[in-house]
Amino acid sequence: MALKNPEQTGARERDLISDVQRGQHELFYELVRPYERRVFAAALAILRNEQDAEDAVQEAMLKALANIKQFRAEARFSTWLIQITVNEALMRRRRERTVAMEGLDGHRSGRGDEEREYAPRDFADWREIPSEALERKEVRLKLAEALGTLDRKYREVFVLRDMEHLNIQETAEALGITVASVKTRLLRARLMLRDLLAAGWEQGWFSRLPFEKGNKPW
Amino acid sequence: MVANQKISNCEQVWREISNYVDGDVDAALRSTMEAHFRTCQRCASVLAGTRNVMQLYGDERMLEVPAGFSQRLEKRLENRLMPGASGGASRWSSWAAWLVPVAALALIAGGLKLANTLTFKHPAKSILAAPGHDIPPDLVVVVSTGSKLFHVPGCAFIHDKATERTLTAKEAIQDGYVPCSRCLRQYLKTGLTGHSGAEIAGEEAEEQQELLSAAGVK
C-alpha cells in the first residue's frame, strides 16, 4: 500500500492511537479512516452483500473502539482492524448459516478440490491489462465479478492476502486456517483469476477501452 | 517445496508459481524456475498473468465502498460517543421517533417540488445537480480529477486540464459526473421549467464575472 510518507503517517498514527487509548474517542474515526476501504473489502469478501458488509464494518469498528486499550503497538493497526472485521463477518455468516446450503463449502468441510492440481489454461492470445485500465468503472466491475465467481475459501484468502496485503501468517490467523492452507488456496485463487481475466480478454471484455495516452497496443 | 530438484515439467512450475512470486522459494528452485520460464512460453504466460492479477487486484482503486459509506460510519461512531443522540428511544416517545424521518422526507419532497416550480434567484446549484436531459449517450466528453463535472472537449471551464480523461456522456453520468452548465447548457435548458434562457444567461454572466474576479482578472 503506497502511503505518501510512511514514517510521518506512522508517527501520526501512533499518536492518535495513544490519544484514543487515553479516552479521546472522538479521534477514533480519524484513526480508522485510512483503512475503511480495506475493512469493507474484507467484510464483503466474506458476506458477499454490500449492506451486510457495511453493517459488519460498523459493528466491528465499534468493537475496535471498545477494545482499543487491548491494541499492542507491536502489531500493525491496519491488520488489527482487519482481523476484528473478519471475525465480525465470519460470526455473522455463521449465524446465518442455518440456511442449509452454505454448509456445503465451509472452511472445515474437507479439502476437496483444493488438494487437486490445477492446470492453468493455455491462451493463444493473451495480453496484460495495464493498471491504467482500472480508471474505468466497467473494468473494475469485471474484475470484481471474476473475483465473485471464486469459491469463498479461495476468495477470502485472495482478498486478505493480495488486496489487503496481509502476509501469509496474518491471513492464516485472521481466517483461522493453517499457513499451508493459505498457500494452497492462494495459488489456486491466483491461477483461476488469471484464467478468468485471460478468458475475459478473449471474449472482448477489455477491447472497447479507449486508448489512454495514445499508444497502448490493446 | 521442490527444493534442489530438477523441474522436469510444467505441473511442478504451476505448483510453485505462487510461492515464486511471493519470494517464498529457495535459491536453487528459483533459478531452476527462471530457466524454465525462459524456455517455456506457456509457463511464462502463466507467470505474467499471475503477476498481472496481483497488480490489478492489489491496486487501491479496487477497494471501493458504496456511496455515503464513510459518512455513515463516522455518524455511527459519533452516535456511540454521544449516548443522548443514539439512545433516542429513551428520550423520545416512539411516535416522535418515527415522526422525525417522516417530517424530514416531507420537507425534502416539498423542497424538491418547490425547486421545480418556483424561480429562485440563484438556480445555478440545481442546474448543476440535474443529470441533464437528452444528452446523446455516445457524446464524447471529458472529465478531470478534482471536479465532478463533465465537459465538451475544449470547454474553457475544465479544471486541471493535465488530468483530463475522455469517455462517453453515458459513462460520465453513470460515474456520478454532472454536465457543465456552460458547454452543455443546451441540454440542461431543455430540462428546466420556469427558467427562461435569458435569466440563465444573466446568471451565467454574473457567475463568470465572479469567477474572473476571484481569479484576479478585471
The pLDDT value given to residue B174: 83
> What's residue B95's pLDDT?
54
Whole-number percent of chain A with pLDDT over 70: 83
A100 CA: distance to closest CA in chain B (Å): 29
pTM: 0.62
Residue B147 cell numbers, joined? 471536479
Q: Which three cell numbers stand for residue B52?
A: 498481472
Inter-chain CB proximity A29 and B171 less than 8 Å: no
- pLDDT of amino acid B198: 46
* pLDDT band (50, 70, 90) for residue B216: low
| Interface contact B70, partner A, CB < 8 A | yes
B113 to chain A, closest Cα gap in Å? 30
Domains, chain A: 11-96 (1.10.1740.10), 124-202 (1.10.10.10)
What is the mean pLDDT of the segment spanning B171-198?
67
Q: Does B138 touch chain A (CB under 8 A)?
A: no
Q: Which residues of chain A are within 8 Å of residue B62 when distances are taken between CB atoms? A: 41, 134, 140, 143-144, 163
- Residues A32-64 pLDDT 10s: 999 999 999 999 999 999 999 999 999 999 999
- Per-residue pLDDT tens digits for A125-161: 778 888 898 998 889 999 999 999 999 899 999 999 9
Euclidean distance between CA atoms A95 and A91, whole angstroms: 6
Query: Which of B63, B69, B168 would best serve as a mutation to test chain A binding (most A beta carbons within 10 A)?
Result: B63
Please name the residue of chain A whose CA is at the shortest distance from the CA of residue B18.
A187
| Joined grid coordinates for residue A172 | 492464516
B positions 18-57 inside 8 Å of A (CB): 18-19, 21-22, 24, 42, 45-46, 48-50, 52-57
User: At a CB cut-off of 8 Å and minimum separation 6, what does A35 contact?
Assistant: A77, A78, A81, A82
pLDDT: which is higher, B106 or B87: B106
Using CA atoms, how far apart are residues A143 and A139, in angstroms rounded to an integer? 6
The answer to whether B61 faces chain A, any CB pair under 8 Å, is: yes
**Closest Cα partner for A142 from A190, A217, A193?**
A193
**CB-CB under 8 Å, B57 with A147:** yes
Q: Which of A144-148, B125-129, B176-180 has the lowest mean pLDDT?
A: B125-129
ipTM value: 0.84
* Alpha carbon of residue B206 to chain centroid: 30
**List of domains in chain B:** 10-58 (no CATH), 124-214 (3.40.10)
Cell 510444467 belongs to residue:
B10
Angle between helix axes B10-21 and B27-39 (nearest 10 degrees) is 120
Query: Is B63–A123 a contact, with Cβ atoms under 8 angstroms apart?
Result: no
Q: What is the pLDDT of residues B138-150, one digit of tens each?
A: 888 888 887 888 8
Which of A24, A29, A157 to mutate against chain B (most B CBs within 10 Å)?
Answer: A29
B165 vs A29, A135, A162: nearest CB: A135
In percent, the amount of chain A with pLDDT more than 90 equals 58
* Cross-chain residue pair A117–B15, CB shorter than 8 Å: yes
Query: Which residues does chain A have within 8 Å of residue B60's beta carbon, measured at their own beta carbons?
Result: 1-2, 37
In degrees rounded to 5, what are phi and psi of residue B142? -125, 150
Over residues B157-163, the mean pLDDT reads 79
Beta-carbon contacts of B17 under 8 Å, excluding residues fewer than 6 positions away, are A187, A190, A191, B33, B43, B46, B47, B50
